[in-house]
Structure 1
Amino acid sequence: MVKAGPRIVDKIRAGILRGDWRPGEKLQPVAMAERLGTSSTVVREALTRLAGDGLVVTRPNRGFFVRELNLRELADLTELRCVTEELATRLALERGDVVWESELTAAHHQLARTPRRSPEDPAHVDADWQKAHKAFHLKLLEACGCPPMVKLASDLADSTELYRCWAAPYVKPNARDVEGEHRDILNAALARDAGKLAELLRSHYEATVRVVLESGLVESLAETQEAS
């Protein structure tokens, strides 16, 4: 079997997050292979891997599709993420040492210095910011010492990130003070205030749900589907 390298998997993942393929859209391996300069076999392997991450769904005898927009699922995923990270961060604050504090501060510095949207593509969330954003949130949990819990949080982050990226073109960049939210999260972690940190993370994640609901994305997709 020809295996898809990380480069192709990452390119397709980035394209889905950027909205190159819309929610529920069928993914055509041959056309994607031409676009990415590789073989359809490699693309199919990459799509199979992304299906395992929840970004792509497979349907028997029909092929691969981008996962569909499901607001109830988004709310459920967000609640599960909040509960998971409340426990993980509580353990991290108990077990994290000064090295972890330094690495967390560095991860926040990287995030704070990376623009959320670039002047060249202001309608979409910048890929470098996405990486820095996830790195900061995972570093918060790292010191908990429970890899399965961190893996669950990482998968949930990818799923909810998909919704936020889909909504980005419909949302003004200054709709939220995201930078201030991250700064407050860092300060609560460094102060070892588990209760405050859990409260801030919940508020941070639930704000994303509100952004999706208020973005007009749902209405836009409905209009597109009616027209097709």
Structure 2
Amino acid sequence: MTKVASSGTRADEVFKAVRADLLTARFRPGQWMKVSDLQKRFGVSISVVREALNRLTAEGLLQSSAQRGFRVPDLSLADLHDLTDARIKIEPLVLRESVESGSAEWEAEVVAAHHLLTRTPVPAPDGTLNPDWIRVHAAFHEALLAGCPNAHLRSVATSLRDKAEMYRMGAPLPVGSGDVAAEHRPLMDLALARRKDEAAALLVRHIEHARQAVVGRLATHGRD
């Protein structure tokens, strides 16, 4: 049983832990969440678990039903396309503002996040996608957008990326390793050079590439 730090942070700790599990596909698409199991795992009350799951529902990482509780969303091609189209509208806008407004500290954070990405292997020992890579990959993209002064835009962009990660991890076939850090270097270089339009255009291609990688796997396994 995983103990949670203090009463003031209990729901937040459960939220973060279950969120990490969702983003690394430790729950299956369509799976119903067992509140009693989570209660035992974290040593908290049912109300604390429900508060955390409601927050995840608000972020779109879970779905809720008054009769049955909380479940992991199903994966579908239609939803993937809608999600990707939304990302293409939002993320390049946020990146442009980040490149325009980012400080020297922002530049340092982008460089540090990319360095960590280069040091983190993509495949786990069992050949699946490494959960640590998922975390540092997300951190790199968050660092790129962190210079945007509009917190609401950053929040929307992050939420859309989180949902996209569920598709990356939930797709039936593992993602190939490749030199992923090198693929991200041009994004970093363009951002640091303050070439916002080129950086935004490259980000669109990056998002489209991710879409196509997942579409093939979903189509092969009949998810429409």
The TM-score, its normalising length taken from structure 1, stands at 0.84
Measured at CA, do residues 26 and 95 of structure 1 come closer, stay the same or move farther in structure 2, by a change above 3 Å? same
Measured at CA, do residues 97 and 41 of structure 1 come closer, stay the same or move farther in structure 2, by a change above 3 Å? closer
2:191 maps to a residue whose letter is A
Task: Name the SS for the 1:27 alignment partner.
Answer: coil
2:119 paired with 1:116: no
Query: What does 1:69-84 align with in structure 2 at a 5 Å threshold?
Result: 69-84=75-90
Task: Name the SS for the 2:75 alignment partner.
Answer: coil
Structure scoring higher RCO (CA < 8 A, sep ≥ 6) equals 2
Aligned mates of 1:32, 1:143 — CA distance in 2: 36
Aligned mates of 1:221, 1:92 — CA distance in 2: 36
Q: CA deviation at 1:217?
A: 7.3
Q: CA deviation at 1:116?
A: 2.4
Aligned counterpart, 2:112: 106
Measured at CA, do residues 148 and 218 of structure 1 come closer, stay the same or move farther in structure 2, by a change above 3 Å? farther
1:205 maps to a residue whose letter is I
2:177 paired with 1:171: no
The answer to whether the Cα contact below 8 Å between 1:170 and 1:217 also exists between their aligned partners in 2 is: no
Q: CA deviation at 1:129?
A: 2.2
Measured at CA, do residues 16 and 123 of structure 1 come closer, stay the same or move farther in structure 2, by a change above 3 Å? same
Aligned length in residues: 218
Aligned counterpart, 1:225: none
Per-residue Cα deviation, 1:35-72 (whole angstroms, up to 9, x for no partner): 45544433222211211111111012121111111222
Aligned mates of 1:51, 1:77 — CA distance in 2: 16
Taking only aligned residues, the RMSD between alpha carbons, in angstroms, comes to 2.5
Aligned counterpart, 2:161: 157
Measured at CA, do residues 218 and 44 of structure 1 come closer, stay the same or move farther in structure 2, by a change above 3 Å? farther
**Residue number among 140, 143, 146 corresponding to 1:139 in the alignment:** 143
Aligned mates of 2:27, 2:106 — CA distance in 1: 38
Aligned mates of 1:141, 1:216 — CA distance in 2: 29
2:185 paired with 1:186: no
Q: CA deviation at 1:196?
A: 1.9
Identical aligned residues as a percent? 37
Aligned mates of 2:41, 2:85 — CA distance in 1: 37
Aligned mates of 1:187, 1:87 — CA distance in 2: 18
Aligned counterpart, 2:205: 203
The TM-score, its normalising length taken from structure 2, stands at 0.85
Aligned mates of 1:91, 1:2 — CA distance in 2: 35
The answer to whether the Cα contact below 8 Å between 1:69 and 1:163 also exists between their aligned partners in 2 is: yes
Unmatched 5+ stretches in structure 1: 223-228
The answer to whether the Cα contact below 8 Å between 2:24 and 2:134 also exists between their aligned partners in 1 is: no
The answer to whether the Cα contact below 8 Å between 1:57 and 1:67 also exists between their aligned partners in 2 is: yes
**Residue number among 65, 81, 103 corresponding to 1:59 in the alignment:** 65
Aligned mates of 1:73, 1:54 — CA distance in 2: 12
**Residue number among 213, 216, 220 corresponding to 1:214 in the alignment:** 216
The answer to whether the Cα contact below 8 Å between 1:2 and 1:42 also exists between their aligned partners in 2 is: no
Per-residue Cα deviation, 1:105-147 (whole angstroms, up to 9, x for no partner): 111112221222332x431332x32222222112212222111
